[in-house]
Amino acid sequence: MADVLPLVEARLRSAFGEPDARAAVTFLGTDRIEVLRFTEGDIVRYATLGMSAQPMTDPTAALADPVKGPRAELVLSVRAGEADTDKVLRPLAVLAASPQVEGLVVAPGASLDVGEPLWPGAPFTSVLVAEPGGLVEDLDLDAPADPVRFLPLLPMTPNEAAWKRVHGAGALQERWLNGGTDLRDPLRRSVALD
């Protein structure tokens, strides 16, 4: 099968235009992960490139299939100029490497935690993985490979992450919606959870 990453980058460019910055991170024993930055008006989008090179494998599987299995890249959108969000590059790369390092299958509804603020002064240490298809269409690959899905990440405060563990992703998203929460605000406070 042809290399997936040039196709993934082409899909990101068709959705967001030319990236205005890119950085690469390599962790011991993993493939290189790049993070591309796209700026559109007052919104900055960070997209990973490299997570989809290999399919994600269920850690309980006896043998990893080199072709079949879910593939994904991560997309984070924030409002520009209110915080030093470019420091999110390394945490995003850590999250994108987690399927290789920890054997995770990243899917909508999952919580991913980096254990430290996503950027300096950020009230968030984790993200909720949202449903794909809104910002970037899935990238179909030749059969039998699964399509590459572009998963939006929604930053969560520690209180929101704890509430989500009890009540579920849908309930938290409903709470955000009912509260008129600006999920792109890099300094927003936690939604009311009482």
For the cut 80, the answer to whether the pLDDT of residue 65 exceeds it is no
For the cut 60, the answer to whether the pLDDT of residue 81 exceeds it is yes
Whether omega for the bond prior to residue 70 falls within 30 degrees of 0, making it cis, is no
Model confidence pLDDT, tens digit, residues 95-136 = 999 998 888 899 999 999 999 999 999 999 999 999 998 889
Cα separation, 76 vs 67, in Å, equals 27
For the cut 90, the answer to whether the pLDDT of residue 88 exceeds it is yes
7-16, 49-58, 114-123, 155-164: segment of lowest average pLDDT: 49-58
Query: What's the per-residue H, E or C state across 60-117?
Result: CCCCCCCCCCCEEEEEEEEECCCCCHHHHHHHHHHHHHHHHHHCCCCCCCCEEECCCC
Q: Is the pTM of this model over 0.85?
A: yes
Between 64 and 33, name the one with better pLDDT.
Answer: 33
pLDDT band at 187 (very low <50, low <70, confident <90, very high): very high
Query: Of 94, 114, 123, 111, which Cα lies nearest the Cα of 154?
Result: 111
Q: Which pLDDT score, from 0 to 100, does residue 57 have? A: 83
pLDDT band at 189 (very low <50, low <70, confident <90, very high): very high
Q: Which pLDDT score, from 0 to 100, does residue 67 have? A: 80
For the cut 90, the answer to whether the pLDDT of residue 61 exceeds it is no
Q: How far is CA 10 from the centre of its chain?
A: 18
- Averaged pLDDT for residues 145-150: 94
In the block, tokens 């024993």 appear at 29
Q: What percent of the chain has pLDDT over 70?
A: 96
Compute CA distances 91 → 99, 122, 161, whole Å: 14, 12, 17
For the cut 50, the answer to whether the pLDDT of residue 1 exceeds it is no
Give one DSSP letter per residue of 3-37, joined into a string: -HHHHHHHHHHHHH-S-SEEEEE--TTS--EEEEE
- DSSP lists the bridge partners of residue 189 as none
Structural Rg of the chain based on CA atoms:
16
Q: Which pLDDT score, from 0 to 100, does residue 66 have? A: 74
Cα separation, 131 vs 143, in Å, equals 23
- Kindly report the number of other CB atoms within 10 A of residue 94's CB atom: 17
- CB-facing half-sphere around the CA of 89: CA atoms within 13 A: 15
For the cut 90, the answer to whether the pLDDT of residue 68 exceeds it is no
